[in-house]
Amino acid sequence: MNVYTSLPVYTGDVSGVCSALYELGGMIVIHDPSGCNSTYNTHDEIRWYDHPSLIFISGLKESDAIMGNDQKFIDDIIASANDLQPRFIVLVNSPVPYINGTDMEAICHQVSEKTGIPTFYVPTNALHDYAHGISLAFTSLAKAFTFKRGEKIPHSLNILGVTPLDYTSATCVSSMKQVLSAFKVVSVWAKEASLEELEKSLLAQVNLVVSSSGLALAKYLYKNYGMPYVIGVPLEALQETITTLLEKAIATGENQSIINSIHGDKKVTLIGEPILAHSLGTVLTRDYALDYRVLCDLEDHKGLLRKEDLACHDEKHMQAYLQDSPYVIADPLYRKIVSTKLITLPHLAMSGRLFLKDIEDVITMKVGGMCDEFK
């Protein structure tokens, strides 16, 4: 049984979809009375003041849900789309229409036929976490549009899995590009990116997966287009390591990963998004001989955890696992279940805007600064 009595849940899958597609010029419609949209607007999105986006709710009423009045939903979408002319339309599900069994695929077909605008459905239900929603959004988008084909750009890559929910600082994307300056960055899925850039993704030689939400897309591109991928975050402290892995993937066509089982002499537990946690842990082990392990409480972690790591969604189990870890690196809200030393690393998808002013650019953050805490 998964029981939380002190910790909040992560940002939900509906917000993850909206965050992933926010900057791409599409119209996102959440079929919902208003709750999912309210949470997203209030807690999960920080770009409203700098970058407008077309994100709507259907305003589903009890009578329409009971009577199955989908026509009002369809007519409202068509009217808005004809007025705003978005690049594409995305329908996002929520608990009530999910339980009702609303045929979202059929509605997409009708909307696309009436408007001439590509329309697709992302199968959320507001019962999963943000990373799962982002993952669904990226793969749904990749399947819905046509990639541009042509000669591969030498020494080029795509970065997969970048949204403000994991990479909140406004400088993260530029910092990643600076670390990867030896390569041509063709696209970033999907922050500071356009739909035109994403459509050129097949021109890159390799994909760099920087969060678990980008892994499903990487696997899709590998399976369907033979593009190898590398798992790891281009932290400044890992520039040489990530560069070597990327060059090896380009040369061999084989997938590579930062995740390994190097051990040091102390035990640090990192809680949260597993690829970032492993990347930070790799620096701690390599440069400071600090053993690390990862506690992942996100849903999508397959292939991203070692035998010494733990996937867990129960607070008592987490507390038992953390008892023999002298140091824990996690969002400040985990203080409620950590009895040893907690080194805080705020995460927007966990604590919302509570610690927004304390969130650093994790790419350029001095990982060694954390080590002062271990002395």
Quick: pLDDT tens for 187-232: 999 999 999 999 999 999 999 999 999 999 999 999 999 999 999 9
Residues near 298 by beta carbon (within 8 Å), at least 6 away in sequence? 10, 129, 131, 132, 212, 272, 273, 274
* Chain mean pLDDT for the chain: 91
pLDDT at 63: 80
Query: Which residue ranges make up each domain of the chain?
Result: 13-144, 156-257, 268-372
Task: Judge: domain 268-372, CATH 3.40.50.
Answer: yes
Mean pLDDT of 280-308: 91
Quick: pLDDT tens for 144-184: 988 999 999 999 999 999 999 999 999 999 999 999 999 99
Coil/strand/helix, residue 64: helix
pLDDT band of residue 35 (cuts 50, 70, 90) is low
The Cα–Cα gap between 309 and 311 comes to: 7
pLDDT at 43: 80
pLDDT at residue 371 above 70?
no
pLDDT at residue 264 above 60?
no
| CATH number for the domain formed by residue range(s) 13-144 | 3.40.50.1980
pLDDT at 251: 97
Q: What percent of the chain has pLDDT over 70?
A: 95
Higher pLDDT, 124 or 40: 124
Mean pLDDT of 34-45: 76
Contacts 24+ apart (CB under 8 A), 284-288: 284/367, 284/370, 284/371, 286/262, 287/237, 287/367, 287/368, 288/264, 288/368, 288/371, 288/374
Mean pLDDT of 82-95: 94
Do 268-372 and 156-257 fall under one CATH topology? yes
Higher pLDDT, 205 or 38: 205
| CATH number for the domain formed by residue range(s) 156-257 | 3.40.50.1980
